[in-house]
Structure formats: C-alpha cells, structure tokens
Copies of this chain bind each other. A is one copy, B any other.
Amino acid sequence: MTVQSYGDRLTAAVTARGPLCVGIDPHPAILKAWGLSADASGLERFSRTVVEALGDRVAVLKPQSAFFEAYGSTGIAVLERVLDDIRGAGAIALLDVKRGDIGSTMDAYAAAYLTDWSPLAADAITLSPYLGFGSLRGAIDVAAQNGRGVYVLALTSNPEGPQVQHARSADGAMVAQTIIDSAAAVNSGADGLGHVGIVAGATIGRTGADFAGLNGSILAPGLGAQGAGPQDLVDVFGAARTLALPSTSREVLSAGPSIEGLRGAAARTLGEMEAALSVG
C-alpha cells in the first residue's frame, strides 16, 4: 500500500480548510479562565472542547506536550485521547514536543510519535536540533515511511534564540540557515511539498535567512492581531511566505470555552492570516 505523503496531506488540509494551526495549550492560567480545575480532568475538558469546536474546520491542531506531561501518566493518557479526537475529526495532529537526541534514543522518540501502532501517534512533531540536524535523521526517515512529518526548530522569536541560532559555522553560514538547508536537502527529492518542515517565528525580522529552497512547511508562530503583519511576512520569508503555516493559540483559546466563541475566533484569525499571506 502506498502511503500518502505528509506534504500531500498537509496541502490537501490547507486547501480545504485554509492555512491555520491552532495550538492546544492548556496552561494553568487558561484553565482558570475557562472555569476549569488545574488537573487532569480540567486538562481533558479543555483539550477536547477545542477539538470539538475546531477539529472539523481548521487544518492543523497542535497540542503542546509539556502541559500534558505536567500531570504525569494521567496527563499523557489525556493526550492520547486528544490525539485520537483530532484524527477522528479530520484535522492534522501536530504534536509540539521539541524532541532531539541520537541513535537508539532518537529511534525511540520516532517509535513513540511517528508510527501507526503507538498510542501517542501524531501526524507530525516538532524536533530540536542542538545535537545537529543529522542526529534527527532516524525520526525523519520513520516519518517519511509512515506519511508523517517533522518540524525542525530553526529561527525562534524569543530574545535568547540568537545565542545559538545566529551563530556561524566556519564557512560563515548561520546555524539556522544550515538547519533550513539541511531540511531543504531532504525535501528536494519530494514529489510535491516535502515532509521536513521548519519552525520560524513570523516576528523575527530580517535575519538574512533564505527559505527559498525549502520546499517544506514553515510553522510560523507570532502572526496576527498581536504580532506580525503582512509586511513582516514579506521581510522574514520573502517569496517562501506561501509555505508559511501560521500558528496561533492565545487569540483563539481566549474566546473559549464557548464552542461558537472558539469557532468565531478561529474564522477571524484565519481571515487575517489569509490576508497577510496573499499580500504582494
């Protein structure tokens, strides 16, 4: 059986539903704002409400693993059900775990998150490349075999990021650029959009990074009402802005717990994103 590639699945989802990723970030403050308890039951109620509201209409839902890990195995059991819900609703489940390791350890992360038989199987995960892009290869290969994707951290908007991401290798290339180029090299053979995405904040400004050859999805937090506007997108991504998958969380989640509130906020945010992406 031929497995449909992550690039094709993502392209289909974005074509049908528009380019928007909504984060499922059940931090204690939002649980309180929704009138929920800061425990596994509040966690479950929150997460499944988001999926009920948005799972049939946004392209990608992105649970943040840390907020589930905070409740131990009980929280992880909730995460398993949330991932199931997302798949059942027809959205792409992008699990934000930022894992990165080597050898058999990296293989174990791939088994945990990128294989069909795992209780924590996601459609894609985020990866962190401090050990070098090549150390992630085991997960990248397993993802490809299973029609899944990865998003490797490249350029983030937090003020501490440049310490590592803007450093330069002996040949003068910025670390973040070498990550982008490594991802591009994997994607270059793809028929359609490749399965190795990168994470790059929409508010990072002009860094000199070149995304032109990536041929992969760019998970881009920070776009929207309280962040970057259309011109920022042009500045940061240039022509590659068509690859951007805008990611938002607070703007949508703060409109809950009402289902209609969440849907309205997601629709408004999607409209803003589409306007931003279509400029120029």
Contact = CB atoms under 8 A, between A and B. Distances in A.
Interface of A: 25, 27, 29, 64, 66-67, 69-74, 76-77, 79-80, 96, 98-109, 111-113, 118-120, 128-135, 153, 156, 158-170, 175, 178
A72 B135 contact: no
Contacts of A101: 66, 98
A163 to B, nearest CB: 4
Contacts of A71: 112, 119
A102 B158 contact: yes
Contact of A105 (B66, B80, B113, B167): B66
A96 B108 CA distance: 13
Contacts of A133: 160, 163
B128 A100 contact: yes
A170 B131 CA distance: 21
Given A73-B77, A112-B69, A131 B166 contact: no
B161 A132 contact: yes
B129 A164 contact: yes
A99 B102 contact: no
A99 B101 CA distance: 10
Given A67-B108, A76-B72, A175 B158 contact: no
B100 A130 contact: yes
Contacts of A64: 105, 108
Contacts of A175: 163-164, 167, 175
Please provide the 10 A-B residue pairs with the shortest distance between their CB atoms, ordered closest to farther: A132-B160, A72-B119, A134-B160, A167-B167, A66-B108, A73-B77, A73-B76, A132-B163, A130-B130, A69-B112
A106 B170 CA distance: 32
Given A98-B101, A164-B175, 18 more contacts: A66-B99, A66-B109, A69-B120, A70-B111, A102-B160, A128-B128, A128-B131, A130-B165, A131-B153, A131-B158, A131-B164, A134-B159, A134-B160, A135-B158, A163-B169, A164-B164, A166-B169, A167-B169
